[in-house]
Amino acid sequence: MFFTTVLAAFVVGASAARQQSTFAVLRHRGGGPLTTCRADPIVSPGGPSAHVHTVMGASNFGFNSTGESLLQSRCTTALVPGDMSAYWFPSLYFKDPKTGLLELVPFFYMNVYYFFEATNDDLKAFPLGLHMVSGNAQLRTAPAKTGALQLDPSKGPVQPVQITCPRLDPSFNPPNWPADSDGSSAGIGDPINKGAGIGFPFQDCDGYASPLRVDVHFPSCYNPNAGLTNYRENMAFPTPTADGKVDCPKGWIHVPHLFYEAYWDTHSLRDRFAELIGKESPWVFANGDVTGFSAHGDFISGWDEALLQEIIDEQCNTGHAGLHACNAVLKRWENPEAVFGECHAECPVNEDVKGPMEKLPGNNPLAGWKYGTGTPAPPPTYAPAPAPSSSTLEPSPAPNQGNSQPQPKPEPEPEPEPEPEPEPEPEPEPEPEPEPEEEVKVEEPQAPTSSTVAPTLPEPTIVTPEAPGTTLQTTTTSRALRTKYVYKTTTVYVTTTCYLDTLEPTAAPKAKRDAQEELHGLSGLDLEHHLAKHQHRKHGSLDRRHGHGHATRRGAKLRR
């Protein structure tokens, strides 16, 4: 449905560079949106955006879409095959008054009006890759005291968005918004167009094939000095002239004026919010806004510039018949509507965006009116990437610069912290050499005499060190959470003194028993001779060293 009052303002006679204003509607094929996704390559390039968007246009839409990447798309929802642009806006949710849960409102359809304004300027096609944003996603309070559109920058702040609520009752009685509303607890109606206003309406939008609609006008003056991607400063609305045209500032480029109509099938949910009609609204934008004041839209141009310039130069005025009916389009495609079938793209964020759910995707809190104004979180930023990608969580190749309200500069990814050196436990005295298998010297024992009583074997020292500590080091970077596990190793040395009249601490029980039985049958010099012979055979010279034991082994293991 065309906004009659806006059309009247643009179709004006002129006698200069462009003698009259014309328009044509870019229609999109059915089958639903291209995607519903938490992605916004303009405001949040490189990763998931703060809130969910409904997207129309070219299939290469993603985190890092550019004009060049959009041109390589396999299809588009637009009925003009030469338009590979991306069009998107915040998704709409329904808050069930009974359960309090949130769910996605079914998307109905979208129209994009292309106004070719009467102007003293040369009207030019969008340059490839132009970024535009209109509306303010941060608003939770009324931007004005009136619900009317205001597109003339010479008259003060521009108000480029409205919400329209078509109804079967042409008298709009009761009104869509309280007649005395000042915006503090309800939306404000347009004093001329009773079906339109700012903020969500309190009535059921039951118009034929026209449920609740979000309207967004885009500026049509491009400042090449600001750059294609500087969406905060690169666009402005033209100023009306005395001869009934609208002109851009000197040095700026006059491009087509876009006007979005995004329809949502709110009427299908009427039975579930009937108790609220006339009292409050059940609608919530994906950014958590319950007022509707934050309506906005985004655009990246993916046009074949030569084709769009032909459409402009022929002064196409096909109106509701569609942009695909312009002569320049029909010269290239006999049946442009049939070039592509349904066109969809996979969202790079794997999450539930439909609901029912307790919280909105991105965890955006409800704000506005009875929920308070809140403080919307700034959009996430990501570090630059070497090349664009439409489906990976890689940063934008060209971050915006020079904004009037610059976004925070992305912090560089921190260098990984060096792993700490293991901290050894204090070494026993004397301190051994730090070799893998250090040996400890055993003092030369005295040979026992016949009167020597075999000493009791000392119990070997049992050393049970504490389990090696594990240090968990977590480094947060702009891309992911990196976790490093750092292990500490403790080495404990055990020194065991061995006596000549004892057997090896690690000898098997049977061997030990057999040796003792053999000794019991000897005495005097025979015993001494036997021990000396046994020592020479088993251990060699008396200064032979014995190996050290491990901390977890009972006793010390002698080298064989």
3-state helix/strand/coil string of 315-376 = CCCCECCCHHHCHHHHHHCCCHHHCCCCCCCCCCCCCCCCCCECCCCCCCCCECHHHCCCCC
CA distance 178 to 199: 11
- Nearest Cα neighbor of 230 from 40, 406, 38 is 406
CA distance 411 to 425: 40
CA distance 90 to 383: 24
Q: Is 479's pLDDT higher than 60?
A: no
- Nearest Cα neighbor of 188 from 263, 296, 292 is 292
- Nearest Cα neighbor of 8 from 112, 110, 122, 115 is 115
Q: What percent of the chain has pLDDT over 70?
A: 64
- Averaged pLDDT score across all residues of the chain: 77
* 436: confidence class by pLDDT, cuts 50, 70, 90: very low
pTM of the predicted model over 0.75: no
pLDDT, residue 313, reads: 97
Residue pair 65/300 in contact (Cβ under 8 Å)? The answer is: yes
**φ, ψ for residue 240 (rounded to 5)?**
-60, 145
Q: What is the mean pLDDT of residues 77-81?
A: 98
- The beta-strand segments (E) located in 219-302 are 221-222, 235-236, 239-240, 246-247, 253-254, 257-264, 283-285, 296-300
Q: Is 518's pLDDT higher than 60?
A: no
E strand or H helix at 70, and its extent?
A: helix 67-71
How is 395-450 classified by DSSP, letter by letter? --SS---S-SSPPPPPPPPPPPPPPPPP-PPPPPSSPPP--TT-EEPPPPPPPP-T
Q: Is 403's pLDDT higher than 50?
A: no
Q: What is the mean pLDDT of residues 188-212?
A: 96
CA distance 507 to 509: 6
* 202: confidence class by pLDDT, cuts 50, 70, 90: very high
* 166: confidence class by pLDDT, cuts 50, 70, 90: very high
Q: What is the mean pLDDT of residues 99-120?
A: 98
* 19: confidence class by pLDDT, cuts 50, 70, 90: confident
pLDDT, residue 376, reads: 56
Q: Is 83's pLDDT higher than 90?
A: yes
Residue pair 343/29 in contact (Cβ under 8 Å)? The answer is: yes
- Nearest Cα neighbor of 123 from 243, 216, 20 is 20
pLDDT, residue 375, reads: 59
Q: Is 174's pLDDT higher than 70?
A: yes
* pLDDT tens digits along 27-44: 999 899 999 999 999 999
Domain boundaries along the sequence of the chain: 14-371, 439-547
b or e along 222-235 (b: 16 or more beta carbons within 10 Å of the residue's beta carbon)? bbeebbbbbbbbbb
pLDDT, residue 24, reads: 99
* 536: confidence class by pLDDT, cuts 50, 70, 90: very low
Residue pair 461/553 in contact (Cβ under 8 Å)? The answer is: no
Q: What is the mean pLDDT of residues 479-504?
A: 43
CA distance 228 to 252: 12
Start-to-end Cα distance in the chain: 98
pLDDT, residue 379, reads: 52
pLDDT, residue 460, reads: 42
E strand or H helix at 538, and its extent?
A: helix 524-539
- Nearest Cα neighbor of 283 from 199, 192, 159 is 199
Q: What is the mean pLDDT of residues 467-471?
A: 42
* 377: confidence class by pLDDT, cuts 50, 70, 90: low
Q: Is 249's pLDDT higher than 90?
A: yes
Q: Is 368's pLDDT higher than 70?
A: yes
- The SS3 call for residue 519 is helix
pLDDT, residue 486, reads: 39
pLDDT, residue 373, reads: 79
- The SS3 call for residue 65 is coil
* 167: confidence class by pLDDT, cuts 50, 70, 90: very high
More confident residue, 460 or 115: 115
Q: Is 541's pLDDT higher than 90?
A: no
Q: Is 330's pLDDT higher than 60?
A: yes
**φ, ψ for residue 518 (rounded to 5)?**
-65, -40
Residue pair 261/207 in contact (Cβ under 8 Å)? The answer is: no
Q: Is 412's pLDDT higher than 90?
A: no
Q: What is the mean pLDDT of residues 195-205?
A: 98
- The SS3 call for residue 550 is coil
* 216: confidence class by pLDDT, cuts 50, 70, 90: very high
pLDDT, residue 318, reads: 98
- Nearest Cα neighbor of 201 from 219, 180, 178 is 178
Phi-psi label, residue 341: left if phi above 0, alpha if psi -120 to 50, beta otherwise: beta
Q: What percent of the chain has pLDDT over 90?
A: 62
- What are the distances in angstroms from CA 150 to CA 154, 198, 231, 323? 10, 12, 20, 26
Q: Is 483's pLDDT higher than 60?
A: no
- 425 CB neighbour count, 10 Å cutoff: 14
Q: Is 510's pLDDT higher than 90?
A: no
Extract the tokens encoding 284. Answer: 């919530």
Distance of CA 81 to the CA centre of its chain: 30
Extract the tokens encoding 253. Answer: 């480029």
Residue pair 27/320 in contact (Cβ under 8 Å)? The answer is: no
CA distance 340 to 345: 14
